[in-house]
Amino acid sequence: MLKMNSKNLIIPGIVTLLPMLIGVYFWNRLPDVMSTHFGLDNEANGFSSKKMAVFGIPLFLLTMMGVVYHVTSRDPKNKNISPKVKTILIWIVPVISVWTAAVIYPVNLGYELNVIFAAALLLGLLCIIIGNYLPKSRQNHSVGIRIRWTLENEANWNKTHRFAGYLWMAGGILTLLLSLTRVVPAQWIFGIFPILVAVPCFYSYWLHAKKGL
């Protein structure tokens, strides 16, 4: 069983900072002002200095991983969080860091890349993975659908997360399919995510109002 302790952060932390080494390797070929944010039209609409892009982004993400570790480890119901969910929590930030580098560096080196397509693929995969493990999480204050009705009633929590797990996996698969086929605009694809967040909350309230859970 995985215990949430600082030793578990060493390898993920190294992976999170790996893009810094890649950036240093390509330093002379990267522009002084780099594209770091993109709109749904796949055009750059946000820019950062080379130092910020190469060093600042990985360090910021490393800080975020530390925040996630701190919040989760201080949760009074930490033992209720599935060990596999803890593993996902630890590795989400390194994956995002590597993905960010895999998108930003090629674009700024002059290669053509559909950033929105790549983002949709990542979102779809994350939704599938998270959906697979949502039902395995017991009541806690750090991970899952933490709203009034789930936190006050264990049966509500369990039913809501079981429902949300199926929904998130279906939403992730749909996101992947729509991304691969490219049959709908990007706005529609990314519109799936708010639905995945909102519907389980309404379902939890429905359980509370109709069934007293």
- pLDDT tens for 134-184 read 888 889 888 889 999 999 999 999 999 999 999 999 999 999 998 888 777
Looking at the structure, do residues 125 and 198 belong to the same domain, yes or no?
yes
Looking at the structure, do residues 118 and 105 belong to the same domain, yes or no?
no
Alpha-carbon torsion 47, 107, 61, 171, what sign?
A: positive
Looking at the structure, do residues 65 and 120 belong to the same domain, yes or no?
no
pLDDT of residue 185: 77
Is the pTM value of this prediction over 0.85?
no
3-state percent breakdown (helix, strand, coil) of the chain, nearest 5: 75, 5, 20
Separation of alpha carbons 177 and 117, rounded Å? 11
Q: How confident is the model at residue 74 (pLDDT cuts 50, 70, 90)?
A: confident
pLDDT of residue 190: 86
Containing domain of residue 23, as a range?
A: 1-113
DSSP 156-175: HHHHHHHHHHHHHHHHHHHH
Pair 208, 153: CB distance under 8 Å: yes
Answer yes or no: is pLDDT of 5 > 80: no
- pLDDT tens for 12-50 read 999 999 999 999 999 999 999 999 999 888 889 999 999
- Longest Cα–Cα distance of the chain, Å, equals 63
Looking at the structure, do residues 103 and 1 belong to the same domain, yes or no?
yes
Residue where one domain finishes, among candidates 113, 136, 171:
113
Looking at the structure, do residues 127 and 206 belong to the same domain, yes or no?
yes
Residue where one domain finishes, among candidates 44, 78, 113:
113
Answer yes or no: is pLDDT of 2 > 50: no
**Residue matched to tokens 């990314």:** 190
Residue where one domain finishes, among candidates 63, 80, 113:
113
Looking at the structure, do residues 49 and 140 belong to the same domain, yes or no?
no
Looking at the structure, do residues 108 and 163 belong to the same domain, yes or no?
no
Looking at the structure, do residues 83 and 31 belong to the same domain, yes or no?
yes
pLDDT of residue 9: 83
Looking at the structure, do residues 13 and 106 belong to the same domain, yes or no?
yes
Q: Round to the nearest angstrom and report the end-to-end CA distance of the chain.
A: 31
Pair 18, 97: CB distance under 8 Å: yes
Looking at the structure, do residues 109 and 138 belong to the same domain, yes or no?
no
pLDDT of residue 73: 81
pLDDT of residue 1: 38
Looking at the structure, do residues 95 and 127 belong to the same domain, yes or no?
no
Answer yes or no: is pLDDT of 113 > 80: yes
| Packed helices 57-73 and 83-108: angle between N→C axes, nearest 10 degrees | 170
- % of the chain beyond a pLDDT of 90: 60
Separation of alpha carbons 177 and 166, rounded Å? 17
Looking at the structure, do residues 118 and 73 belong to the same domain, yes or no?
no
Q: How confident is the model at residue 6 (pLDDT cuts 50, 70, 90)?
A: low
- pLDDT tens for 80-94 read 777 778 888 889 999
The pairing of strands 44-49 and 33-38 is antiparallel
The stretch 117-136 carries a mean pLDDT of 90
Give how many domains the chain has, as a whole number. Answer: 2
